[in-house]
């Protein structure tokens, strides 16, 4: 956002970003081409993609606080999307994915197990991650 100069034309910075709670890197290789690679090349590719993702995530998390501070220093006003907006976007996204899964068997094949995985992960995060993260943001507050 900062590098694109949005702060020069948009006085408000709304959060969270739609890609949250975490940005991801994805690498795609056609299965036929992948299977042609020697096993050691496949292993090297996998190791490189894991490394690229870990480094990207670390840089993303390390550099964004300073970037946000610079945006605020330039007069940008920080805002949060309302619960109503978040709920509407959540519903619209889920409705769209449900609709697509009814029309597209390949999408459904991925979507159904992903949906169960997401539910399990969200339950785990609500126990293991969110309470501590919320506490660290506002220690000692109720």
- pLDDT tens by residue, the chain, 142 residues: 788 898 999 999 999 887 666 677 888 999 999 999 999 999 999 999 999 999 998 998 899 999 999 999 999 999 999 999 999 999 999 999 999 999 999 999 999 999 999 999 999 999 998 899 889 988 877 6
* Whether 2 contacts 71, CB under 8 Å: yes
Torsion of CA 80, 85, 86, 88, to 10 degrees: -170
Strands (E) across the chain are located at 12-15, 77-80
Distance CA 17, CA 31 (A): 32
Per-residue model confidence (pLDDT) at position 138: 86
Counted residue by residue, the chain has a size of 142
pTM to 2 decimal places:
0.71
Running DSSP on this structure, what letter comes out for residue 80? E
Nearest-10 Cα torsion for 44, 61, 83, 72? -140
Q: At what angle do helices 105-128 and 83-103 cross, to 10 degrees?
A: 150
Question: Which residue carries 């949005």 as its tokens?
Answer: 6
DSSP single-letter state for residue 138: S
């Amino acid at each position: 956002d900062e590098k694109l100069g949005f702060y020069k034309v948009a006085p408000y910075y709304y959060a969270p970003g739609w890609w949250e709670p975490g940005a991801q890197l994805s690498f795609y290789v056609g299965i036929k081409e992948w299977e042609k690679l020697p096993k050691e090349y496949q292993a090297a590719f996998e190791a490189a993609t894991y490394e690229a993702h870990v480094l990207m995530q670390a840089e993303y998390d390390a550099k964004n606080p300073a970037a946000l501070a610079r945006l605020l220093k330039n007069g940008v006003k920080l805002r949060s999307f309302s619960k109503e907006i978040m709920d509407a976007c959540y519903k619209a996204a889920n409705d769209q994915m449900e609709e697509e899964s009814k029309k597209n068997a390949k999408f459904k094949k991925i979507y159904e197990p992903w949906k169960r995985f997401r539910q399990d992960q969200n339950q785990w995060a609500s126990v293991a991650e969110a309470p501590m993260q919320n506490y660290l943001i506002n220690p000692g507050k109720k």
